Structure 1
């Protein structure tokens, strides 16, 4: 994805097809059964003997072509309306790594029917974080009611993305039967900040600070033998890309994309590992067009190509969200992104050397594709729907050739919905950490920062200051608009405003802002290249929504003061129990 280059990856309420509350099965059982989905005529790509490349046919880029003969095109909205199962998943335990591989999809009973129970104390778990790999993370999502399951066969051409759109912000989704693939597929693995905070072992408002700490204090990984690494247990043969559940996400996307792969390369100068999330389009058998924007990966690739050399890489798929966060670390040659991921976890990250290239990769990932950037070879890639929820343009992209694919027993593949909460937050939290560090280095008394989901966690920023003096709010705005290139609208508030509550931020703007006094506009600044409203440069706007330092009493928020605050907790517990049982006044 263009916005997710390492060191640089909301639901808007307008999506159609079916009501989101109905799809997610709101209610005591959290389970909804819709009318059965009739089988699509023809066969999926896994059964077609003459599989070609997973690219779109030439012609209108908006035409939803059918690259595989014998398959009937149907409207994804019509299919979604007939979807028979979208249900909350049962405990995710996963089978043991040494279990014999059963027949196609038989292993999914282990995913849906395990009985792992975690009884760790809640406070201790928050301090330490959860034990994180993809399987443990799916189990954690299930235990918190944030994992749904689609068991019916589903086509990867936009139907998967349609379900993910409707569940975005509320639920991760496990697709157990993706047409043409032997592997299940998981998406929306970061439903919100609360989930990401659980993984990191902190409160949601502390995520930026937690990430900044990991950058300051990276932790070495634990290196294990390749023979001990679950990810190398099985090898996939043949045209591996056609056997994976890759998706088409949007109607004008150029073809099938791998959206959740961590591109891992070693910096030959520093010896450090760089991770990034890049959009990767299938352009042929074992061939990918990979968008590489300015940053550390482009520099490493450019240096190799200047010597006429190919560049080894590993594409890691099926990981916990902390590795996704680490892939967005700043473009500093002295930062090892694997060590940042290790510092974010409760225990050091286990890594193992790839059998071919020797690159160290996460040992508990689900898939590792060893591959190679072919020096100075380019292919056409794009268009593709990007983080502003508009399309990133087509262009020339470096060619990657996939050499091998290894995976865990009973592996689960992963996808990231472009323009969804997971996409926003994985790219947004590291940027928040950069903004927090920049403001504190400039000696601002910052309590919290946030890049909002409405701005794709890229374009809009909110900063809370503790008792700012005259002029401090405006200065903080100028720093905020300059610290992150993508930010074009910034709001500064007092620390009595919860910046993670949009209503409170709106209240501060309504009661503490006069437009002729508190709005700053900076024309002709550099902004995001993917912002469709910009024309080379962008105008940036800052809003100072802090109360005047000389008149804070007049702007003080009204409060309630319970006679016995200790009893209030008991009242609220009682109220929540009555709400849960449905007892009360009719």
Structure 2
């Protein structure tokens, strides 16, 4: 059974109806109105999916495409997208992602006449980005940005790579593309060295599991279409692109695909842009995409990610948790969980719990995490009695189980992330390991606990009426 965004939205409205808010009033995404609403909700600690029925296009006219925001802002919705119970959004979600990431599921091909994304085809000058409800996110962003996933195909191996990258709207058929030095960048470099343009397809509004799958941490050379299928739990359906036909396949069930080429040896000013870090990524000379076609469903939904907020953080954190769990388990089989907390933008801070048997396992687990993901700057390793999804518990372990001169390691001159604002060098950074586990070789003070028998025998409802208990505020 194939999967698409519409099936997920139907499931969401049935199972988590309070998570879906429909907005009927016209809104101007290119004038910060969408992100202003999202920020107001965030200030109230509310993170619903917003469905804007009447957004304006960049041309100021009513757009034909409704706009979808904030899909990934809760772990419960991400769990739902993988076919799990919303209540399984913490450790079970990470472990299930880890299980699926170990697999590949080959895509299937369908003809263009059967592909929903081919219901409307616009080529050349008819492919007008200004008609789309593209969002301008933060005050210093110079233009609206499409912040979904460009797909590229390796010219040598023939595999596809999918990556979240920012695309600055520069004209009706022109985008500025920022690429960090990862897989898509490597593919483009191969073409650029031979003065060839790089075919690209930006996939907009697919099933959320497609985007979770696109963030898998696999070696260069693994086909992301097959990896995404494994994460989705169903083969990804592909169809020939308009620009290159069967030489470049695109997802058939997306709401929209923007096709084009990254021009060789052409760079223009791009940015600044409010990034996942919560800071602006600086203005730089970056690559340029020339758009050749836009294909979409007749009533296509346009989606964006609220970059620098929970919508980005949760989306990016869950795949890294699964990937690193698999990696760490190879060297420390007693690993229990891996978590990227909101406090580090679900990128820079990593919490690991292990059932430690010997003292050296802590550092083994931490080094595996640092080596497996260059985003990670700070690793805190705790014992299995600590809930790593509860940051108060993690910090309590740091406060009571760490001696800084013995349990903290600093590693200098390591490859970091170009968007980290704390780096004085463009790419080099320092990393830190905090061992917040109890030593194995000597006794340690016991953690306080109310007797289990008393907890089982003494029920709140027997002493405090439910009507009173429900009024007591949570802190």
TM-score interval, smaller chain: 0.7 to 0.9
For residues 349 and 578 of structure 1, the distance between their equivalents in structure 2, rounded to whole angstroms, comes to 51
- Identify if the C-alpha distance between structure 1 residues 370 and 524 changes in structure 2 by more than 3 Å, giving closer, same or farther: closer
Q: What are the residue-to-residue correspondences of 1:387-426 with 2, within 5 Å?
A: 387-426=276-315
- Identify if the C-alpha distance between structure 1 residues 534 and 309 changes in structure 2 by more than 3 Å, giving closer, same or farther: closer
Question: Quick check: 1:175 aligned with 2:175?
Answer: no
Question: Quick check: 1:159 aligned with 2:47?
Answer: no
Higher strand share: 2
Q: What are the residue-to-residue correspondences of 1:97-136 with 2, within 5 Å?
A: 132-136=3-7
Aligned position for 1:48: none
Question: Quick check: 1:355 aligned with 2:232?
Answer: no
For residues 264 and 317 of structure 2, the distance between their equivalents in structure 1, rounded to whole angstroms, comes to 32
1:326 Cα deviation after fit: 2.2
For residues 238 and 191 of structure 1, the distance between their equivalents in structure 2, rounded to whole angstroms, comes to 34
Aligned position for 1:225: 111
Q: Conserved in 1, the CA contact under 8 Å of 2:375 and 2:417?
A: yes
For residues 564 and 524 of structure 1, the distance between their equivalents in structure 2, rounded to whole angstroms, comes to 50
Q: Conserved in 2, the CA contact under 8 Å of 1:270 and 1:333?
A: no
1:206 corresponds, among 92, 96, 116, to 92
Paired residues, number: 450
After TM superposition, the structure 1 stretch with the greater mean CA deviation from structure 2, 138-147 or 395-404, is: 138-147
Structure 1 unaligned spans of 5+: 1-129
User: CA deviation digits over 1:178-230, x for unaligned, max 9?
Assistant: 12322110011112222212222353313343333333211112321111111
Q: Conserved in 2, the CA contact under 8 Å of 1:323 and 1:338?
A: no
Structure 2 unaligned spans of 5+: none
Question: Over aligned residues, Cα RMSD in angstroms?
Answer: 2.8
Aligned position for 2:334: 445
Aligned position for 1:547: 438
Question: Quick check: 1:258 aligned with 2:146?
Answer: yes
- Identify if the C-alpha distance between structure 1 residues 232 and 269 changes in structure 2 by more than 3 Å, giving closer, same or farther: same
1:304 Cα deviation after fit: 1.6
Q: Conserved in 1, the CA contact under 8 Å of 2:127 and 2:292?
A: no
For residues 477 and 216 of structure 1, the distance between their equivalents in structure 2, rounded to whole angstroms, comes to 21
1:333 Cα deviation after fit: 4.1
Aligned position for 2:383: 494
User: CA deviation digits over 1:26-49, x for unaligned, max 9?
Assistant: xxxxxxxxxxxxxxxxxxxxxxxx
For residues 257 and 468 of structure 2, the distance between their equivalents in structure 1, rounded to whole angstroms, comes to 49
Q: Conserved in 2, the CA contact under 8 Å of 1:463 and 1:491?
A: yes
Aligned position for 1:235: 121
Question: Quick check: 1:321 aligned with 2:203?
Answer: no
- Identify if the C-alpha distance between structure 1 residues 227 and 560 changes in structure 2 by more than 3 Å, giving closer, same or farther: farther
Q: What are the residue-to-residue correspondences of 1:299-318 with 2, within 5 Å?
A: 299-318=186-205
Aligned position for 2:452: 561
For residues 137 and 382 of structure 2, the distance between their equivalents in structure 1, rounded to whole angstroms, comes to 37
1:470 corresponds, among 359, 375, 390, to 359
Aligned position for 2:261: 372
1:562 Cα deviation after fit: 4.5
Q: Conserved in 1, the CA contact under 8 Å of 2:50 and 2:68?
A: yes
Query: For 1:434, what is the secondary structure of its paired residue?
Result: helix
Moved over 4 A (4+): 550-553, 562-568, 574-580
For residues 511 and 280 of structure 1, the distance between their equivalents in structure 2, rounded to whole angstroms, comes to 46
User: CA deviation digits over 1:422-479, x for unaligned, max 9?
Assistant: 2112222232233223322223421110111111111101000013423332443344
Q: Conserved in 1, the CA contact under 8 Å of 2:2 and 2:236?
A: no
Scaled by the length of structure 2, the TM-score of the pair is 0.87
2:102 corresponds, among 213, 216, 222, to 216
Aligned position for 2:422: 533
Scaled by the length of structure 1, the TM-score of the pair is 0.71
